[in-house]
Structure 1
């Protein structure tokens, strides 16, 4: 038995000054209306808004991968994002997606198993998804046909696997972007 974790949100601090809403151009203000969670304009969003055109393109793609209806279940997408974020060392994203997974599943069992480095505690579906997320994040070319077979054996269909690949891949990119633009810490 492993202890259950409760993860407190981390704060992300940019290395460059975020766009101040009061000083934002019309194009920046328009871009910031499209946030990843459609909930708030964070320091991260305001930092990315320095380049509003690329911010909008990135966010539309992110939203289509992580929040679209249908396809792979949201908890499985969050597990893919969590696995990628753990491998990539992005504590901020790992905490965000661990909390989302726990909220969606109403359970901290998976998150606790991963936080205490006990992946053997995952059920077969979770283990296959997590293993694939890790392999694809460490060295994408090391993901094999056997990984796909393992995903299919736990109920993922081809369109689900494509959704999972998208979730893992966008976090390969998002984690690295967060690393160069700022850092996370407990406050």
Structure 2
């Protein structure tokens, strides 16, 4: 992997939270698609991710990338019980909004809006921050995400009690913890490797 550099991009950097689709540019050079071996392709899990500069950057360490991707898919796409998909995406959006990860917030806010049909509430979270009033169930999920993001050990009985009072089962609370914890880590990784930019004009 090359040393840290201003990996060239002509696209303007994005500095505001949005539900619009964004691009992302790395500060380190990702693998070229022509460099992928069978092990790299296994690490990507989905062949389509070879078009993503982020995943092609992470593909420098394919074993870690594969573990990361399979954890991500299980947390967000496992259909067996637990939190509705909309609220898994809400948790990821709240975590990303709190941590300042504009790219991750854009991706997961779109999913949250699509699955919940609550576009205006999701936009309020992006515009006003994690203190926005989204109704008690969503407020409880957001507050839990913030507690886990700030200092994980500060997430305790109070957050769990609030989630239960808002109607979440223990299985659903586990999903709040999983989505928030995963994105608390994922945000920090993405923020240290590049920045969001405006998408290329079609």
Q: TM-score, normalized by length of structure 1?
A: 0.89
CA pair 144-29 structure 1, distance change in 2 beyond 3 A? closer
Matched, 1:78 2:105: no
Matched with 1:64 is 74
Matched, 1:175 2:190: no
| 1:175 Cα deviation from its structure 2 partner | 0.5
| 1:139 Cα deviation from its structure 2 partner | 1.7
* Partner of residue 62 from structure 2, selected from 31, 47, 52: 52
Contact preservation (8 Å) 2:24, 2:195: yes
Q: Distance in 1 between matches of 2:94 and 2:18?
A: 18
Matched with 2:4 is none
1:4-153 matches, cutoff 5 A: 7-32=19-44, 34-35=45-46, 40-41=49-50, 42-70=52-80, 71-117=82-128, 119-153=131-165
Show structure 2 runs of 5+ residues with no match.
Answer: 1-16
- Structure 1 residues 27-71: Cα deviation after superposition (integer angstroms, max 9, x where no partner): 112322x14xx8543111111111111111111111111111121
Q: TM-score, normalized by length of structure 2?
A: 0.83
Q: Distance in 1 between matches of 2:158 and 2:111?
A: 29
Contact preservation (8 Å) 1:21, 1:29: no
- Structure 1 residues 138-180: Cα deviation after superposition (integer angstroms, max 9, x where no partner): 1222223121111001111111111110100000110011011
* Partner of residue 172 from structure 2, selected from 145, 160, 178: 160
| 1:186 Cα deviation from its structure 2 partner | 2.3
What is the root-mean-square deviation in Å for CA atoms of aligned residues? 1.8
Q: Distance in 2 between matches of 1:26 and 1:112?
A: 41
Matched with 2:197 is 185
Q: Distance in 2 between matches of 1:181 and 1:120?
A: 29
Q: Distance in 1 between matches of 2:104 and 2:61?
A: 22
Q: Aligned pairs, how many?
A: 180
| 1:120 Cα deviation from its structure 2 partner | 4.5
Contact preservation (8 Å) 2:97, 2:126: no
- Structure 1 residues 7-33: Cα deviation after superposition (integer angstroms, max 9, x where no partner): 21121101112111112122112322x
| 1:6 Cα deviation from its structure 2 partner | 6.8
Q: Distance in 2 between matches of 1:65 and 1:8?
A: 24
Q: Distance in 2 between matches of 1:120 and 1:72?
A: 21
